[in-house]
Structure 1
Amino acid sequence: MQLALLLLLLVGTCRANDFFGDLKDWFDKITAPKEYCNREWITLDSKGVGKGLEADLGRNLFGQHIASEVIVNAVTGFMNNDNPKKPLVLSFHGTAGTGKTLASQLIVKNLYKKGMDSHFVHFFNSVINFPHASQVETYKSQLQLWIRGNVTNCAHSMFIFDEMDKMHPGIIDSIKPFMDYQYKLDGVSYQKAIFIFLSNAGGKIITQTTLVSWKAGKKREELKLEDVETALSSSVFNYHGESYVVDFFIPFLPLERQHIVQCIMVEMVAMGLQSEHNKACEMADKIVIYIPDDERRISVSGCKRIASRLKNFM
């Protein structure tokens, strides 16, 4: 009898905790400060954005000296212009796990007080949000309405599109007008908005260019934007024909073993483990595949699967 009563009390306590937990989440949402499209919630000071963004990229984005420099200059230059002629459009290119998503998140973090939770930041995944080719016309009209409505609500809105290389050309065509040079479109100005595209397109060429440079005896840090831009021009600049609205095509270089070690050490800390360099080096050799086979120079999947593989390894 006492055991049954104890079990009932425990179940009741769990249900009460679940109930009050849900109630707290609901209360937190309705009492959270409302977000406004102003300087209190969006960092419009280019100097403040530049310093914070540069520091965050330096601490968290490993092996991407080209991307970091271009991103900082592009974002601060745009924010420093009170009357831009067009929205800022950035296109990130590289193989999986090189930091494209992370870089976009760091930009958001430094611009919006609520980060990725901001009502002014909109993230789309081409595969998840636009999965059926038969519904392209519906996607186009819905996406256009979404962009128009949100920019009307806040001129400093940001739109991030992941897996652009898998997006239907018709959907890409439907958003081009919002990113072009024009004062207003249907009475709405998009000049202060930001569009970021994440794509694996051009990844193989970037990897080949990096390997050729390395075999020629050049240091990774000697690679410059123009070195990779030339190689990218044929496969990326005219990708689905969107090149004329993109301000910067930003290459993300393939990651080497040293960068994998850094990723592992960061993940160790995230898992509550002690960050040990020797242990990270050992794991970098055991849980990651490198190319070419005889050199083991470049990670095939970058840092993308580090977290899951590290957990299995531990």
Structure 2
Amino acid sequence: MQKTFIAWFLLPAVFVNVNAFEPFTVSVVLGASALLGKTIYNYFQESCSDQWFGFNSTGLQVDLEQKLFGQHIASKVLLKAVTGFVNNKNPKKPLVLSLHGWTGTGKNFVSQLIASSIYKKGMSSRFVHQFVATVNFPHSSEIDTYKTQLQQWIKGNVSSCARSLFIFDEMDKMHTGLIDSIKPFLDYYDNLGGVSYRQAMFIFLSNAGGESITQVVLDFWKNGKDREEIQLSDLESAMSLEVFNNKNSGFWHSSLIDKNLIDFFIPFLPLEYRHVRMCALAEMAIQNMEPDEDIADKVAKDMVYSPKEERVFSSKGCKTITSKLEYYK
């Protein structure tokens, strides 16, 4: 029925006898048919229109509260930053977020939550672009080529849709200087070459800064303080300095940091035993398993914890939860 319905509406554009109408009438008929065809196309094919964008601030807040564990700072900062930016009709620059912390703490997961809150197709949207340093930019000898390709890719996609999202993973493994090639796109310009980048979003994911973050959390733990007492101000300065001065980081002496183009450095705290248990129970729900506290305990106990003496933090966060859960099914 659906195909017949569509074809019937498209018939005037194909079979209309233009000789039977005045020129003005022909223009109206053909124009209406073209508009209708475009409307039908946009209904089924994702386009850069409000129909395919629908920021859900409440949904993002609920997801961060119920699905992201042990990250009170990241949850608060991300919700405010993304909500404020998306609701701003005339932002002065693109939103640039840099997420830092150990592996398995939720950086990639949060990127997916943000994409799902803005784009109806989430990470599958053709307006969401993800780059992985070791996959997309593997060879240091090709850095000049990568710079050109990256600039062209961003310019082309933002030209097609101003509300594009770019995610750069493994920034700690990216070749030094490569990310600086996109500096102009992140700056305070009305447009560059006729293209405005102000509505775009850039998210960088990195393990760099993890040592500084972990040390602060460990100090709080040793002093008997609750980790929820830790504030962004306790971490941001040391974290950004470590990232900027780390020769193994893609941000090493980067102009993005030097020129203050990164809006927020967001720390992801190392996860403790209780958080790993929560991850295990959440994964059970995803797999439609009955919640089993005993299995959650076994999975959490299987993880390697550090530092060696204190054994407070899961070395891999929640990264291997799925495979460990399979073992105990």
Given the two structures, how large is their TM-score scaled by the length of structure 1? 0.85
Query: What 5-or-longer segments of structure 2 have no aligned partner?
Result: 1-40, 246-250
- Cα deviation 1:94-143 (Å, max 9, x = unaligned): 00000000001000000000111111100110100110111111111111
- Is the Cα contact below 8 Å between 1:97 and 1:304 reproduced in 2? yes
- Is the Cα contact below 8 Å between 2:299 and 2:321 reproduced in 1? no
C-alpha deviation, 1:251, in angstroms? 0.2
Equivalent residue for 2:200, pick from 189, 193, 198: 193
- Is the Cα contact below 8 Å between 1:209 and 1:231 reproduced in 2? no
- Aligned to 2:282, the other structure's residue is in SS state helix
Alpha-carbon distance in 2 for matches of 1:170, 1:217? 42
C-alpha deviation, 1:272, in angstroms? 4.1
Please tell me the residue identity of whatever aligns with 1:201.
A
Equivalent residue for 1:93, pick from 88, 97, 100: 100
- Aligned to 1:235, the other structure's residue is in SS state helix
Alpha-carbon distance in 1 for matches of 2:73, 2:44? 38
Please tell me the residue identity of whatever aligns with 1:255.
L
Query: Closer, same or farther in 2 for the Cα pair 1:153/1:277, shift >3 Å?
Result: same
Equivalent residue for 2:45, pick from 34, 40, 52: 34
Matched, 1:212 2:219: yes
C-alpha deviation, 1:216, in angstroms? 1.1
Query: What 5-or-longer segments of structure 1 have no aligned partner?
Result: 1-29
Name the residue aligned to 2:317: 302
Please tell me the residue identity of whatever aligns with 2:128.
V
Residues 56-71 of structure 1 aligned to structure 2 (within 5 Å)? 56-71=63-78
- Cα deviation 1:65-97 (Å, max 9, x = unaligned): 000000000001111211111000000000000
- Aligned to 1:302, the other structure's residue is in SS state coil
Matched, 1:266 2:309: no
Equivalent residue for 1:290, pick from 301, 305, 309: 305
Alpha-carbon distance in 1 for matches of 2:295, 2:311? 19
Please tell me the residue identity of whatever aligns with 1:100.
K
Please tell me the residue identity of whatever aligns with 1:262.
M
- Aligned to 1:260, the other structure's residue is in SS state helix
- Cα deviation 1:235-292 (Å, max 9, x = unaligned): 125633221210000000000111100111122233443211232113211x201123
User: Sequence identity, in percent?
Assistant: 54
Alpha-carbon distance in 2 for matches of 1:116, 1:293? 38
Alpha-carbon distance in 2 for matches of 1:221, 1:294? 23
Alpha-carbon distance in 2 for matches of 1:112, 1:31? 15
Matched, 1:140 2:147: yes
C-alpha deviation, 1:177, in angstroms? 1.1
Name the residue aligned to 2:17: none
Rg: which structure is higher?
2
Name the residue aligned to 2:161: 154
C-alpha deviation, 1:313, in angstroms? 4.2
Please tell me the residue identity of whatever aligns with 2:267.
P
Alpha-carbon distance in 2 for matches of 1:42, 1:73? 19
C-alpha deviation, 1:310, in angstroms? 2.5
- Aligned to 1:124, the other structure's residue is in SS state strand
- Is the Cα contact below 8 Å between 2:171 and 2:205 reproduced in 1? yes
Residues 45-194 of structure 1 aligned to structure 2 (within 5 Å)? 49-194=56-201
Length, aligned pairs only: 280
Indicate the larger mover: 272-281 or 253-262: 272-281
- Aligned to 2:235, the other structure's residue is in SS state helix
Please tell me the residue identity of whatever aligns with 1:280.
A
C-alpha deviation, 1:31, in angstroms? 11
Alpha-carbon distance in 2 for matches of 1:124, 1:233? 22
RMSD of aligned residue pairs (Cα, Å): 1.7
- Aligned to 1:236, the other structure's residue is in SS state helix
Name the residue aligned to 1:312: 327
The runs of 4+ residues in structure 1 deviating greater than 4 Å are none
Name the residue aligned to 2:13: none
Please tell me the residue identity of whatever aligns with 1:33.
F
